[in-house]
Amino acid sequence: MTDPRCLQFRENPEAYSSHPENCEACAATLEEVTDLDRRIATQVLLSDVSPIELDSRNLPVAPWEGASERAWPLAVLGALALVFMAVILFLLSGVSPTDGFQAVLMSQLPRFELFEVASVVGEGLRAAPLRVHLFILIAFVVVNVVFVRLLRRAPRGVDVSSR
């Protein structure tokens, strides 16, 4: 099927309708498709197709449509982790957390260029004590263990009832 004429026939069978006369593979494919179309048309004509009536009140409820299970604990833990990281960064930069949050809320922090901030953070991490590096390593391992446990957990499908 690497012949360019066969590929052209597959892409546009009407324009290359004479190609199957010279190619056995394309003729067999065309015959198979024609037979399949004929069988489908016969089944559609013979069957008595009637629309299915569904009662929307008896359908299962999807999680985003108001099911009882919510991910609020995860959202709260994420917000707390963000606040904790902000407190740590304020303490590492020599600003008290209350002054830092007040400045953030009042939008009084000076604007920095991204590369300046990245270089300052990089230099700060390079000069950080061993405890900070160990904390980052432990946090990395803990977060990845949580991700692996979440991935290995059995998925909940439509047929599973909530308890």
67-90: per-residue pLDDT in tens?
Answer: 555 677 888 899 999 999 999 888
Instruction: Report pLDDT for 145.
Output: 95
Six-digit token pair at 74? 């995860």
Half-sphere exposure of 158 (CA within 13 A, CB side): 6
Q: Are 120 and 92 in contact (CB under 8 A)?
A: no
> Mean pLDDT for each 10-residue chunk of the chain (163 residues)?
78 82 86 86 70 72 61 85 90 85 71 76 88 94 93 66 50
Three-state DSSP state, 106: coil
Sign of CA dihedral 47, 51, 55, 61: positive
Q: How far apart are CA 69 and CA 162, in angstroms?
A: 8
Can you list the alpha helix ranges (DSSP code H) found in the chain?
4-11, 24-46, 72-92, 97-105, 114-126, 130-152
Q: How far apart are CA 50 and CA 90, in angstroms?
A: 67
Radius of gyration of the chain (CA): 32
Residue 142 one-letter amino acid: V
